[in-house]
């Protein structure tokens, strides 16, 4: 363990740690552009100069590529080092266009921060600047090569970390250019991370250009709700519109990066057509009126048909709070049925995962990255958990053997960023005594014997889920005995349903009465329901999600619900005849236009009350109450230890 | 399109390498000899021979100054403008070359004979000012010597 002194602070670090990282560990930030914790060292920007006053090496050194050694005495504030950094910044800024006012990175730009921090504020260079032609890189990323300072972060991420081959660095010396062979959309499904990783404004988010500055944004720690990996994100919103979504570091779940679906698939959040008002028989009404009507519908239906022909249907889009309250709602209407899953296959897979996984055999990101042997069992990894593909690639680069077990072939729509051997059955995968092996199974159909075989193999398990919060659905199905909607519907056991953000399979709701529907998007069920209750999406609500490895993570509300200011419906202006686009409403009002949505769990709590149940202030009760104070900025908590004991009994 | 015999030769060269990338320069040089410069088509061919993407070949091709990604004349003149040659007035030599050939740096003479390119050191610092014409290095240049060399290279072509 090397011991060194940095700015008079004694530091002890693990062997192989760089001086820059050692300084970070005691809270000293040495300016840097090319250093990134997730990437290999490049020592390309020459900015992180420090002076070594004593020890094995002396003088000015680049701290990012200098391993910490015993006896080093480092000064980050030595006048010589300061001057060096100032001159390096001046040199890096020589060709920069100084176009911060029209650059989307302005306000969140490492180059701005370190230029000012380095003390370079007066331009001395009078010559011509080198300029480049930008390339079209697709509809999501804007390219502005003139701002480049040649830190190589983008190409190191794109080629080395993410395994892309269509973007790189060409030229040499002053002509170094980062781009593609020919113009065209970037192929890698992780290309959006160029936006986060570029320290300047070369790569900016095209989907949110020229909308707002960093200090305008409302943002909060959130969790992506596109697949069951549960990557940490920070949606940035302005005037009730989610403008950008950026990755948020969580070393247990997604590291530093997120996939492009998490970053760019956000149109539905801002859609002006999203249902935003409570409706009763097709006409807009107050929210409480609609809830009263829904309660009445339920009472009437139960009186006519009996509670056992009524089902309360949710889905993996619900937060854990919504799911627990759905179970309580089903209990309030005694005898009614509870569904978290649309079909039997999904239910079987999620319940099996909830039953089989525990603290010791459930693999997390680190287990995958350090694995020696990985079996991908019948799944389309790029569809079901893209970020895990990067973890598998990391293991692959470290020498792990990857096998694609073709028991139930699913066509991979996108190329995987690693090479693998295709085998027919799991038996052909040589797990060496179970040491550091990982099986990644998809959300598809799996029979119980096979799952038990997986679990008994000694390898750690990843069971990807069909939806973002399906793991919670599986755990609660075990606890409250839920069924699959398709099973109930096709057997004719139910005549009526109440939907909460449910995705009902087509063709099954023709003969079933939809009593009420609560959702944040339109669906066939919503169109059929006499009562419609708009709910908030994950960016507009606080909640908890449980990912594929049973890790509960809290996401926070990142903006208030309501219509984005841009593109209000004409009905919000004083006159319906002459709408003025992009103007605020001209009526006296207190509430946010289109902001009537409520969190699904609160709607359920109100329904429970109307149906004669108790008043609920706190959705997480019983065994789940331990998750009440979950830190949204923490690494999340695995729930297996919280749920000790028989899952079918409430503690 | 490259002839089958050249393709076979290059495939054998790639096969004998431990990693495909180490054969990249040889493959690019052979293709350049065939086409006269490394055309876009040649980049694609090199990529499929080496099992890389066209971009990854382009990364290498644009790094090396002896690989030409634009059409060049019959003979390429690389004239050194680096520090040692600068100390012995390479600037005068470059000006003379420009005047004599009637082209700027990076341009090709009207007869398609010479392309004039600056280069950053060819390791002839002791014999500066230096240049190379085709593949032949020349040192201790004077304007008169430059004229002689150009005439001789013209005769040889």
The answer to whether B13 and B26 are in contact (CB under 8 A) is yes
Contact between A154 and A180 under an 8 Å Cβ cutoff? The reply is no
pLDDT at A431: 79
Residue B54: which of A169, A172, A181 has the nearest Cβ? A181
**A172: contact with B, CB 8 A cutoff:** yes
Provide the pLDDT for residue B141.
95
How much is the pLDDT for A651?
Answer: 34
Predicted confidence (pLDDT) per residue in A296-312, tens digit: 999 999 999 999 999 99
Among the partner-chain residues B53, B62, B65, the one whose CB lies closest to the CB of A166 is B53
Q: How far is A139 from chain B (nearest CA, A)?
A: 20
Strand blocks (E) in A171-210: 177-179, 203-205
Centroid of chain to Cα A474: 21
What is the arithmetic mean of pLDDT over A433-451? 74
Looking at the complex, report in whole angstroms how far the Cα of residue B155 sits from the nearest Cα belonging to chain A: 34
Given CB atoms, is B54 within the 8 Å cutoff of chain A?
Answer: yes
Whether B48 has its CB under 8 Å from any CB of chain A: the answer is no
What global pTM score does this model have? 0.92
Q: Which pLDDT score is estimated for A495? A: 93
- Exposure b/e, A150-173, CB count within 10 A at least 16 = b: bbbbbbbbbbebbbbbbbbbbbee
- Reading the block at residue A392, the tokens are 């598998």
**Does the pLDDT of residue A59 top 70, yes or no?**
yes
- Asked if the C-beta of A125 comes within 8 angstroms of chain B's C-beta atoms, the answer is no
Are the Cβ atoms of A172 and B52 closer than 8 angstroms?
no
Chains A, B: CB contacts within 8 A come to 31
pLDDT tens digits along A281-294:
989 999 999 999 99
Q: B54 to chain A, minimum CA–CA distance in Å?
A: 7
Chain A hits for B63, Cβ within 8 Å? 170-172
Q: What was the pLDDT predicted at B156?
A: 87
Alpha-carbon gap, residue A1 to A13, rounded angstroms? 6
Could you report the per-residue pLDDT of A428-440, keeping only the tens digit for each?
888 775 568 899 9
State the angle between helix axes of A344-356 and A448-456 in degrees (0 to 180), rounded to the nearest 10: 30
List of E strands, A217-284: 218-219, 222-223, 232-238, 241-247, 279-280, 283-284
Whether A165 sits inside 8 A of B43 (CB atoms) is no
State how far the Cα of A514 lies from the Cα of A93, in Å rounded to an integer: 63
Identify all chain B residues contacting A154, using CB atoms and an 8 Å cutoff. none
Q: How many Å is the maximal CA-CA distance in chain B?
A: 49
Cα–Cα distance between A565 and A239 in angstroms, integer? 6
B43 and A169 within 8 Å at the Cβ level: the answer is no
Residue B58 touches chain A, beta carbons under 8 Å = yes
Residue A331 has pLDDT above 80, yes or no: yes
Per-residue model confidence (pLDDT) at position A648 = 39
Q: Which residues of chain B carry a pLDDT beneath 50?
A: none
Residue B59: its chain A contacts at CB < 8 A?
A: 168-170
Q: State the nearest Cα–Cα gap between B52 and chain A, in angstroms.
A: 8
Residue B106: other Cβ atoms inside 10 A: 10
**Chain B contact present for A303, CB below 8 A:** no
Cβ proximity of A80 and A51 under 8 Å: yes
A423 confidence band (pLDDT: 50, 70, 90): confident
Assess contact for A372 and A435: CB atoms under 8 A. Answer: yes
Q: Is A351 helix (H, G, I), strand (E, B) or coil?
A: helix
DSSP assignment of A273-330, as one string? TS--S-EETTEE--HHHHHHHHHHHHHHHHHHH-GGGEEEE--TTS-HHHHHHHHHHH
CA distance B39 to chain A (A): 13
pLDDT tens readout for residues A370-396: 999 999 987 888 888 999 999 999 999
By Cβ distance, the residue of A165, A167, A170 closest to B62 is A170
CB A310 within 8 A of CB A338: no
| Alpha carbon of A176: minimum distance to chain B alpha carbons (Å) | 9
> How far apart are alpha carbons A490 and A301 in whole angstroms?
20
Q: How many CB atoms are closer than 10 A to CB A476? A: 26
Listed by number, the residues of chain B in 77-136 with a beta carbon closer than 8 Å to a beta carbon of chain A are 120
Q: What's the confidence (pLDDT) of residue A408?
A: 56
Which among A165, A166, A172 has the least Cβ separation from residue B62? A172
The residue among A563, A591, A599 whose CA lies nearest residue A240 is A563
Rounded CA separation A401/A417 (Å): 14
At A514-544, the pLDDT tens digits run 999 999 998 888 889 999 999 999 999 999 9
Query: What would the DSSP string read from start to end of A33-86?
Result: SS--TTS-----S---EEEEEESSS-EEEEGGGSB--TT-EEESS-HHHHHHHH
Q: In this predicted structure, what is the pLDDT of residue A447?
A: 67
For an interface test with B, the pick among A164, A181, A183, A419 (most B C-beta atoms closer than 10 Å) comes out as: A181
Which residues between 1 and 40 in chain B have a beta carbon less than 8 angstroms from any beta carbon of chain A? none
Query: Could you give the strand order of the β-sheet that contains A73-75, starting from the edge strand earlier in sequence?
Result: A9-12, A3-6, A73-75, A49-54, A59-62
Instruction: Kindly state the helix (H) or strand (E) to which residue A115 belongs, with its residue range.
Output: helix A110-117
Which of A207, A158, A208 minimizes the C-alpha distance to A178?
A158
Please tell me the predicted confidence (pLDDT) of residue A435.
Answer: 65
pLDDT value at A640 more than 90: no
Q: Per-residue b/e over A251-275, b at no fewer than 16 CB within 10 Å?
A: ebbbbbbbbbbbbbebeebbbeebb
Residues sharing a CB contact under 8 Å with residue A79, sequence separation 6 or more, in sequence order: none
CB proximity A576 to B under 8 Å? no
Phi-psi region of A562 (alpha: psi -120 to 50; beta: other; left: phi over 0): left
Burial class (CB in 10 A: 0-12, 13-18, 19+), A551: buried
Judge whether A434 and A416 are in contact, CB under 8 Å. no
Q: Is A160 on the interface with B (CB under 8 A)?
A: no
Q: Do B58 and A181 lie within an 8 Å CB cutoff?
A: yes
Burial of A57 (0-12, 13-18, 19+ CB in 10 A): exposed
**Residue B120: its chain A contacts at CB < 8 A?**
173
Q: Residues of chain A with pLDDT > 90: what percent?
A: 72
CB of A332 within 8 A of CB of A612? yes
Does A170 sit within 8 Å of B58, measured CB to CB?
yes
Phi, psi of A544 (to 5 degrees): -130, 140
Q: Under an 8 A CB cutoff, do B63 and A172 touch? A: yes
- Residue A9's CB is within 10 A of a number of other CB atoms, namely 14
- How far does the CA of residue A425 sit from the closest CA of chain B (Å)? 30
Select from B50, B51, B53 the residue whose CB has the most chain A CBs within 10 Å, as the one to mutate to test that interface: B53
Ranges A99-113, A424-438, A446-460, most confident: A99-113
Using a CB-CB cut-off of 8 Å, the residues of chain B touching A167 are: 55
A183 near B CB under 8 A:
no
B65 min Cα distance to partner chain A (Å): 9
* C-alpha to C-alpha distance for A327 and A317, rounded to whole angstroms: 15
Q: How far is A260 from chain B (nearest CA, A)?
A: 22
Residue A413 — pLDDT band, cuts 50, 70, 90? Answer: low
Q: What are the DSSP calls for chain B, one per residue?
A: ---HHHHHHHHHHHHHSSSGGGGHHHHHHHHHHHHSS--HHHHHHHHHHHT--HHHHHHHHTT-TTS-SS---SEEEEEE-SHHHHHTTHHHHHHHHHHHHT--TT-B-TTS-EEEEEES--S-GGG-S-EEETTEEE-S--HHHHHHHHHHHHHH-
The contacts of residue A107 (CB under 8 Å, 6+ apart) are A213, A214, A215
Q: Is the pLDDT of residue A446 over 90?
A: no
Taking the Cβ of residue A171 and every Cβ of chain B, the question of whether any pair is shorter than 8 Å is answered with yes
Q: Which chain A residue has its CA at the smallest distance from B60's CA?
A: A170
Contact across the interface for B52 and A167, Cβ inside 8 Å: no
The answer to whether the beta carbons of residues A265 and A242 sit under 8 Å apart is no
| A172/B59 Cβ within 8 A | no
Contact B41/A at CB under 8 A: no
Strands A437-441 and A460-463: parallel
- Cα–Cα distance, A563 to A572 (Å, whole number): 10
What residues contact A90, with CB distance under 8 A and at least 6 apart? A120, A124, A125
Buried b (16+ CB within 10 A) or exposed e, A279-318: bbeeeebebeebbbbbbebbeebbeeeeeebbbbbbbbbb
Q: What is the pLDDT of residues A544-603, one digit of tens each?
A: 999 999 999 999 999 999 988 876 666 665 555 555 555 555 677 788 888 899 999 999
Q: Is the pLDDT of residue A450 over 80?
A: no
Question: Does residue A326 have a pLDDT over 60?
Answer: yes
pLDDT at position A650: 37
Give kind and range of the element (H or E) at residue A264: helix A260-264
pLDDT at A410: 56
Residues of A in contact with B82 (CB under 8 A): none
For the record, the structure tokens of A175 come out as 């002509």
Alpha-carbon distance values, A614 to A48, A332, A437, A609 (Å): 61, 9, 48, 6
Alpha-carbon distance values, A35 to A173, A282, A393, B128 (Å): 20, 58, 21, 40
pLDDT of A296 reads: 95
The verdict on whether omega for the bond into residue A111 sits within 30 degrees of 0, i.e. cis, is no
Residue A272 reports pLDDT greater than 90: no
* Distance from C-alpha of A576 to C-alpha of A550, rounded to nearest angstrom: 50
- The rounded distance, in Å, linking the Cα atoms of A411 and A378 is 9
Q: Report the residue from B43, B55, B120 with minimal CB separation from A168.
A: B55
- Distance separating alpha carbons of residues A97 and A129, to the nearest angstrom: 8
Indicate yes or no: CB of A181 within 8 angstroms of CB of B55: yes
**Pick from A249, A251, A218, A250: nearest CA to A235:** A218
Nearest-5° Cα angle at A305, A304 to A309: 155
CB nearest to A165's CB, from B43, B55, B65 = B55
Residue A647 pLDDT class (50, 70, 90 cuts)? very low
Flag whether residue A419 sits within 8 Å of chain B, measured between CB atoms.
Answer: no
Are A172 and B53 in contact (CB < 8 Å)? no
Q: How far is B119 from chain A (nearest CA, A)?
A: 12
Contact at CB, B43 and A173, closer than 8 angstroms: no
Average confidence (pLDDT) over A306-330: 95
Tell whether B62 lies on the interface with A, counting CB pairs under 8 A. Answer: yes
Pull the structure tokens for residue A217: 């944004």
Q: Report yes or no: A176 at the B interface, CB cutoff 8 Å.
A: no
- Name the token pair of B59: 């990364």
Q: Return the ∠ at Cα A55 (arms to A53 and A58), rounded to 5°.
A: 50
Asked if the Cβ–Cβ distance from B65 to A172 is below 8 Å, we say yes
Q: Per residue in A462-507, pLDDT tens?
A: 999 999 999 999 999 999 999 999 999 988 899 999 999 998 877 8
């Amino acid at each position: 363990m090397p011991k060194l002194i940095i700015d008079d602070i004694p530091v002890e670090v693990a062997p192989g740690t760089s001086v820059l990282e050692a300084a970070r560990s005691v809270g000293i930030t040495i300016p840097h552009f090319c250093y990134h914790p997730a990437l290999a060292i490049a020592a390309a920007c020459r900015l992180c100069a420090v002076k070594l006053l004593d020890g094995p090496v002396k003088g000015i050194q680049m701290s990012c590529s200098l391993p910490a050694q015993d006896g080093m005495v480092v000064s980050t504030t030595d006048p010589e080092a300061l001057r060096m950094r100032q001159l390096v910044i001046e040199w890096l800024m020589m060709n920069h266009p100084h176009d911060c006012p029209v650059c989307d990175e302005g306000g969140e730009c490492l180059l701005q921060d370190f230029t000012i921090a380095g003390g370079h504020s007066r331009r001395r260079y009078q010559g011509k600047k080198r300029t480049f032609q930008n390339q079209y890189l697709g509809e999501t990323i804007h390219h502005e090569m003139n701002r480049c300072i040649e830190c190589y972060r983008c190409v190191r991420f794109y080629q080395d970390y993410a395994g892309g081959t269509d973007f790189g660095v060409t030229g040499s010396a002053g002509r170094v250019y980062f781009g593609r062979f020919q113009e065209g959309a970037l192929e890698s499904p992780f290309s959006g991370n160029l936006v986060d990783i570029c320290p300047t404004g070369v790569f900016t988010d095209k989907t949110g250009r020229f909308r707002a500055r960093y200090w305008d944004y409302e943002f909060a720690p959130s969790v992506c709700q596109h697949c069951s990996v549960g990557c940490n994100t920070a949606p940035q919103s302005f005037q009730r519109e989610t403008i950008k979504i950026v990755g948020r570091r969580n070393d247990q779940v997604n590291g530093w990066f997120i996939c492009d679906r998490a970053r760019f698939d956000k149109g539905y959040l801002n859609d002006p057509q999203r249902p935003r008002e409570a409706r009763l028989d097709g006409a807009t009404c107050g929210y409480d009126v609609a809830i009263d009507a829904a309660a009445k519908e339920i009472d009437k239906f139960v009186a006519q048909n009996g509670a056992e022909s009524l089902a309360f249907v949710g889905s993996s889009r619900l937060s854990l709070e919504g799911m627990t309250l759905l179970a309580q709602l089903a209990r309030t209407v005694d005898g009614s049925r509870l569904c978290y899953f649309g079909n039997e296959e999904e239910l079987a897979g999620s319940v099996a995962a909830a039953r089989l996984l525990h603290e010791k055999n459930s693999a997390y990101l680190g287990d995958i990255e350090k694995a020696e042997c990985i079996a991908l069992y019948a799944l389309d990894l790029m569809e079901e958990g893209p970020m895990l593909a990067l973890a598998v690639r990391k293991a692959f680069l470290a020498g792990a053997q990857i096998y694609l077990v073709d028991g139930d072939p699913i066509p991979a729509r996108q190329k995987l960023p690693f090479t693998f051997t295709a085998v027919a059955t799991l038996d052909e995968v040589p797990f060496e005594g179970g040491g550091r092996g990982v099986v990644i199974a998809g959300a598809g159909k799996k029979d119980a014997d096979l799952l038990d075989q997986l679990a008994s193999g000694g390898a750690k398990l990843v069971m990807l889920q069909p939806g973002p919060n399906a793991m919670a659905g599986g755990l609660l199905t075990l606890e409250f005995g839920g069924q699959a909607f398709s099973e109930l519907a096709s057997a004719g056991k139910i005549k009526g349903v109440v939907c909460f953000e449910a995705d009902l399979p087509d063709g099954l709701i023709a003969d079933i009465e939809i009593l009420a529907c609560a959702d944040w998007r339109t669906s066939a069920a919503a169109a059929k329901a006499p009562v419609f209750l708009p709910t908030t999406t994950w960016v507009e609500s606080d909640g908890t999600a449980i990912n594929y490895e049973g890790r509960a993570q809290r996401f926070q509300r990142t903006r208030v619900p309501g219509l984005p200011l841009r593109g209000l419906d004409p009905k919000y202006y004083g006159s319906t005849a002459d709408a003025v686009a992009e103007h605020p409403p001209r009526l006296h009002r207190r509430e946010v236009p289109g902001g009537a949505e409520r969190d699904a769990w609160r709607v359920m709590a109100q329904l429970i009350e109307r149906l004669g149940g108790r008043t609920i202030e706190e959705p997480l009760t019983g065994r789940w109450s331990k998750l009440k104070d979950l830190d949204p900025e923490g690494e999340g908590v695995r729930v297996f230890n919280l749920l000790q004991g028989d899952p079918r009994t409430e503690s | 399109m490259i002839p089958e015999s050249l393709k076979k030769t290059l495939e054998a060269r790639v096969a004998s390498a431990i990693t495909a990338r180490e054969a990249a320069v040889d493959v690019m040089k052979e293709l350049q000899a065939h086409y006269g410069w490394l055309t876009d088509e040649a980049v694609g061919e090199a990529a499929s021979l080496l099992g890389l993407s066209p971009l990854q070949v382009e990364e290498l091709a644009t790094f090396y100054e002896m690989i030409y990604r634009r059409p060049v004349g019959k003979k390429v003149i690389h004239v050194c403008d680096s520090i040692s040659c600068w100390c012995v007035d390479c600037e005068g030599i470059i000006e003379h070359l420009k005047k004599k050939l009637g082209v700027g740096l990076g341009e090709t003479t009207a007869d398609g004979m010479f392309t004039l390119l600056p280069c950053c050191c060819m390791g002839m610092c002791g014999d500066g000012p230096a240049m190379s014409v085709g593949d032949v290095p020349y040192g201790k240049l004077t304007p008169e010597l430059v004229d002689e060399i150009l005439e001789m290279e013209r005769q040889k072509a």
